[in-house]
C-alpha cells in the first residue's frame, strides 16, 4: 500500500526512535494525526522547546534548565559526596528512588575502545575538577567489563589528585549488561547502603 508522502515521512521519523518498530511507528503516527484526543502541536512544540532550551549542567552533566542544575545548586544536598553514573537515565533512577542526598556526576558513557569510546570522550576530567571538599566518590556503574575498566582508570586519577577521598562502589544485583534503571527503588537503596570500599 502506498502511503501519503507526509504520513510516510512522519512514520519514518517515529521509527528512528529507540525501541520503536515499524508497526508501532505506524500506530503512533496514525494516533497523532487521526485521533481527536491527540495534540500533535503540543507534542511538536514541547519537543522543539526542550531541544532548544535544555542544556547540560556545567558541573554534573545532567540535563538542566540553567547553566547549573537544581541539584548542583541546591543547599540541601551533601556536597561532600558525588555519585558517578554512566548516563542521565541511571541518575534519574537513583534520584527517583529518593534516598541519595549527595551530588551526581554523569560520565556520558563508559570506556570502550571497541566502540571508539576512549577516556577523553567521557567526562572524567570534569569529575577530577570537582573534587575540592569531596570526601566520598560513589560509583554506581553497571556490571560490565567496560564499567570495571572505567572505574579503575578513574580510581587511579582520583588517587593522583588525593588519597584522602573514600572510593566506594555500589553492588547492584543486576545481570551483566542490565541498566541501573531496571532496579527497583528499594534494591537501589540497599545497594547504596551496602556499597563496598576500595
Ligand atoms: Zn548539576
What is the domain partition of the chain in residue ranges? Answer: 5-53, 66-197
> How far does residue 33's CA lie from ligand 1's centre (Å)?
38
* Total-model pTM: 0.85
Low-confidence ranges of the chain (pLDDT < 50): none
What gap in Å lies between CA 61 and CA 68, rounded to an integer? 9
Longest dimension (CA), the chain: 67
Sign, Cα dihedral of 123, 124, 125, 127:
positive
> How far does residue 64's CA lie from ligand 1's centre (Å)?
7
> How far does residue 43's CA lie from ligand 1's centre (Å)?
27
- φ, ψ dihedrals at 22, nearest 5°: -65, -40
Q: Tens digits of per-residue pLDDT, 32-41?
A: 999 999 999 9
> How far does residue 165's CA lie from ligand 1's centre (Å)?
20
- φ, ψ dihedrals at 105, nearest 5°: -140, 115
Buried b (16+ CB within 10 A) or exposed e, 43-60: eeeeeeeeeeeeebbebb
| C-alpha cell of residue 132 | 575540592
CATH of 5-53, one of 1.10.1660.10, 3.40.50.2000, 1.10.8.420, 3.40.50.11540: 1.10.8.420
Q: Report domain 66-197's class.
A: alpha beta
> How far does residue 157's CA lie from ligand 1's centre (Å)?
21
| C-alpha cell of residue 161 | 589528585
- Residue 178: the pLDDT is 64
> How far does residue 61's CA lie from ligand 1's centre (Å)?
6
Amino acid at each position: 500500500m502506498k502511503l501519503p508522502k507526509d504520513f510516510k515521512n512522519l512514520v519514518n521519523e517515529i521509527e528512528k526512535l529507540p525501541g520503536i518498530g515499524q508497526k508501532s511507528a505506524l500506530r503512533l503516527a496514525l494516533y497523532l494525526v487521526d485521533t481527536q484526543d491527540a495534540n500533535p502541536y503540543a507534542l511538536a512544540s514541547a519537543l522543539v522547546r526542550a531541544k532548544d532550551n535544555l542544556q547540560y549542567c556545567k558541573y554534573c552533566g545532567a540535563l538542566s534548565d540553567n547553566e547549573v542544575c537544581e541539584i548542583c545548586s541546591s543547599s540541601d544536598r551533601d556536597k561532600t559526596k558525588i555519585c558517578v553514573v554512566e548516563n542521565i537515565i541511571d541518575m534519574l533512577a537513583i534520584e527517583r528512588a529518593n534516598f541519595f542526598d549527595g551530588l551526581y556526576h554523569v560520565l556520558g558513557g563508559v570506556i570502550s575502545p571497541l566502540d571508539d569510546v576512549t577516556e577523553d570522550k567521557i567526562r572524567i576530567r570534569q569529575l577530577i575538577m570537582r573534587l575540592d571538599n569531596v570526601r566520598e566518590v560513589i560509583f554506581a556503574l553497571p556490571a560490565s567489563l567496560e564499567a570495571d575498566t572505567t572505574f579503575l582508570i578513574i580510581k587511579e586519577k582520583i588517587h593522583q589528585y588525593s588519597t584522602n577521598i573514600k572510593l566506594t562502589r555500589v553492588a547492584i544485583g543486576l545481570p551483566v549488561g542490565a541498566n541501573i534503571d531496571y532496579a527497583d527503588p528499594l534494591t537501589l537503596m540497599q545497594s547504596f547502603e551496602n556499597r563496598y570500599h576500595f
